[in-house]
Amino acid sequence: MIQEQGTEFIDSPEVHRFPGYSLFMRPDNIIELHFENGFSGSVDDARHMVQLFKKLSGRFKPSLLVICSEDNTFSKEAREYTASREVSAVLKADAFVIKGLALRIIGNGYLKINRPRRPTRLFNSKEEAIDWLKRID
C-alpha cells in the first residue's frame, strides 16, 4: 500500500497497483513509483513499468521518483534495461529513495556499472529527491 507520512492514498483511478509495486502521476508531473517489501524486479516488470510511464506522461518526458523498500532486488537484465537509451527516451531523470545499506550498495553499483543515460541519483529522503528532480531541466 502506498503511504505518505503516515496516511494512505485512497484507491482511485490515478493510482495504478500491481503485484509488488504501485505508481501514480503526481500533480508536479513526477511519476512516483513505490516498491513493496520483498519485491524482486525482473526485466518483464521493468518493461511493464516503462509502458505505464509512457501512458501516464503522454507526450512529455516526466521525471521518476522511486521509493524502495529495504529488501528490494532487481535482476541484472532489469538494471541493464532500465539504464538503456530506450528508457532514457521516456524519462528525463530518476531519483531513488534508498533505505538500507544493501540496497545502497546495489544502487551505487547500478550508477557505476549500468551508467543510466539520464540524470540519476540516490537519496536518503523523499524531500531531497523531489527537490533535485524539480531542478532538472
User: What's the Cα-to-Cα distance from 70 to each of 33, 35, 96, 103, 107, rounded to whole Å?
Assistant: 15, 10, 12, 6, 12
Looking up cell 524519462, which residue turns up?
Answer: 91
- Beta-carbon contacts of 133 under 8 Å, excluding residues fewer than 6 positions away, are 30, 63, 65, 93, 95
What cell numbers appear for 89 in the block?
527516451
The predicted-structure confidence for 61-109, as pLDDT tens digits, reads as follows: 999 999 999 999 999 999 999 999 999 999 999 999 998 898 999 999 9
Q: Is the pTM of this model over 0.85?
A: yes
Nearest to 46 by CA among 6, 78, 20: 78
Structural domains in the chain, sorted by start: 60-137 (3.40.50)
Whole-number pLDDT of residue 9 = 40
What is the SS3 assignment for 10? coil
Confidence of residue 13 (pLDDT cuts 50, 70, 90): low
